[in-house]
Amino acid sequence: MTMSPVDAVVRDPTSVIAAIESRFSCRAFLRDKPVPRQQIDEILRIASCAASSTNTQPWKVYVLQGDRRDALVEKVCAAHDATRADPSSAAEYGEVADYYPSEWVSPYIDRRRHNGWGLYGALGIGKGEKDKMHAQTQRNYRLFDAPVGLMFTMDRVMGRGSLIDYGMFLQTLMLAARALGLHTCPQAAWNNYAKIVTPLIGAGPEEMLVCGMALGYADESAPVNAYRTPREPVESFTRWV
């Protein structure tokens, strides 16, 4: 007999908390350790339990492995190199939607800078080392060597609230991956090259790219995976009214 969600008991809440607290943006994966399809299916099944307003479930997921993964990586990396060689060509691409604010203000710009320089510090990249910075940015487009790339789209007709639903879906997916011993890295960087990504994955013109995600087993020996972003204390963002 299937237990009702109302009656269900979380018998090991520490495991739930551990999945949340151990999630981080993994930036080095084991390329030669594939993820079985049944595990990916299970992660997506669990993620489908995420809440969405009026049960709209606006998410669409494209899974890339093997040759299709590699084809996407090579095409976007080539475009990334081309835009560096000729910055004016960047106008050909660009984001399909405003992911970041048009003007950065404190405290958000401060956190962003702290994160950027903290990450570069962990990688031994100093200010002004543009070649290294370019190579590290391109690691995004190489999926940090993860064997699985996930691309997420949504129908353009949907409203802004569906992006809130999407965020809950993505977080649920990442926690499901942790429960199965895998790691992830959600990536907004792919949005810059949506014009390349969406046709290659077979997304229709009615779909917009929301983000990408790397999925796989973490390279525990990589120094970058020891980097952790700080979190604001609860009292800094909470008001008891």
The closest alpha carbon to 224, from 31, 22, 27, belongs to: 27
Beta carbons of 72 and 149 less than 8 angstroms apart: yes
| pLDDT higher than threshold 70 for residue 150 | yes
| pLDDT higher than threshold 90 for residue 193 | yes
- Give mean pLDDT, residues 177-189: 97
150 alpha-carbon distance from chain centroid: 8
The closest alpha carbon to 210, from 139, 171, 156, belongs to: 156
Please compute, for residue 137, the number of CA atoms within 13 A of its CA located in the half-sphere on the CB side: 19
Tokens of 78: 């080539």
Q: Are strands 183-187 and 60-64 parallel, antiparallel or unpaired?
A: unpaired
Q: What is the pLDDT of residue 1?
A: 53
* pLDDT one-digit tens code per residue, 36-66: 999 999 999 999 999 999 999 999 999 999 9
Q: Which residues are within 8 A (CB) of 133 and not within 5 positions of it... i.e. 6 or more apart?
A: 120, 125
In degrees and rounded to multiples of 5, residue 150 shows phi and psi of -115, 130
Q: What is the pLDDT of residue 96?
A: 66
Percent of the chain with pLDDT over 90: 86
Q: If pLDDT is split at 50, 70 and 90, which confidence band does 158 have?
A: very high
- Averaged confidence pLDDT in the chain: 94
Q: Which CATH architecture has domain 23-97+141-222?
A: 3-Layer(aba) Sandwich (3.40)
Rounded Cα–Cα distance for residues 177 and 190 (Å): 21
| pLDDT higher than threshold 90 for residue 8 | no
From the number of C-beta atoms within 10 Å of its C-beta (0-12, 13-18, 19+), residue 131 rates as: exposed
| pLDDT higher than threshold 60 for residue 199 | yes
| pLDDT higher than threshold 90 for residue 77 | yes
* pLDDT one-digit tens code per residue, 87-143: 888 888 876 677 888 899 999 999 999 999 999 998 999 988 999 999 999 999 999
